[in-house]
Amino acid sequence: MPDAEAPLAFTVDEASVGARVDALLAERSGVSRAQVKRWIDAGRVTVGDEVVRPSRKVALGESIEARPLEPVEMALAPEAIPLEVLFEDEHLIVIDKPAGLVVHPAPGHPGGTLVNALLAHCGDLAGIGGVLRPGIVHRLDRGTSGVMVAAKDDDTHQGLARQFAEHTIERRYRTLVRGVPRADEGRIERPIGRHPRDRKRMSVEAKIGKPSITNWRVLRRFRRAMTSELEVRPETGRTHQIRVHLSSAGLPLVGDTVYGRARGSDARLGRPALHAARLGFDHPIRGERLVFETPLPEDLLGWIADLGPAEDVE
């Protein structure tokens, strides 16, 4: 079977010591761990001269080489789902994702996803970034709205994935939280991993967690409603990072019934109050800096309107 792309080869540096080979390769290549596992199972990944298992831990100075497989045929169907396009060229597309739209197919959501919409809008994305997640470089949770970028070709996908891995992507979120912090800004540095008792949740109490950093600052305080609007800037990109970190700091997101203190009114909002308001990155092919911003959607604006008087932070 021919290769889909040239072999990927690199040497393990100090920052990667102890990582699983499948996780490290997924990060370096920009494809999913499931895709990397296919390469490993086919004997196309070596550490030194050794064919390895996905869970094999890497050591400093080891040489890793991967020969990607040709992507298998996708079973995904294009669906004419409307997209709010902020920017598009032959290499990438930037959209304003609405809350409620699942990014890629998964058990329970075989269709009606952003991937299905991109297949209809962009045409052939087969194999770009993985069989089940073509074009997807990063994702927003189903309940999160805001700016997302997707790739149309392998070079663009790898270039964007590299920027996410190196944390040179600018990401700013706006959120509503329960509580009124005294400080105008803060920084949370707590590792995040799987919850020790509930594997469906993430936690700062995990036995093994990945370094995670979230910065926040207050935009407005609604003291009567004991609610605040924050701008959040994550430096890392862990699953549910903003929700987990802010909850651990006593500032759970409004509407977050998983990591927050559920209230009856949260059901009315129907999702965590989180919006990806700003995304900035270097165009992987043309090199220029691109920055996109979107305003809060109507559901969050309506919620804010009911909170009463606000104290703006200068």
From 22, 49, 89, 141, active-site residue: 141
CA–CA distance, 76 with 209 (Å, rounded to integer): 33
Residue 286's alpha-carbon distances to 95, 223, 281, in angstroms, are 19, 47, 11
Going by C-alpha positions, the residue among 161, 192, 160, 167 that lies closest to residue 15 is: 167
The helix (H) or strand (E) run that includes residue 304 is helix 298-305
Q: Helix, strand or coil for residue 225?
A: helix
The helix (H) or strand (E) run that includes residue 218 is strand 213-222
The residue type at 234: P
73 DSSP assignment: P
Decide if 124 is catalytic: no
Is the Cβ–Cβ distance between 133 and 125 less than 8 Å? no
How many other CB atoms are there within 10 angstroms of residue 311's CB atom? 11
Catalytic residues: 141
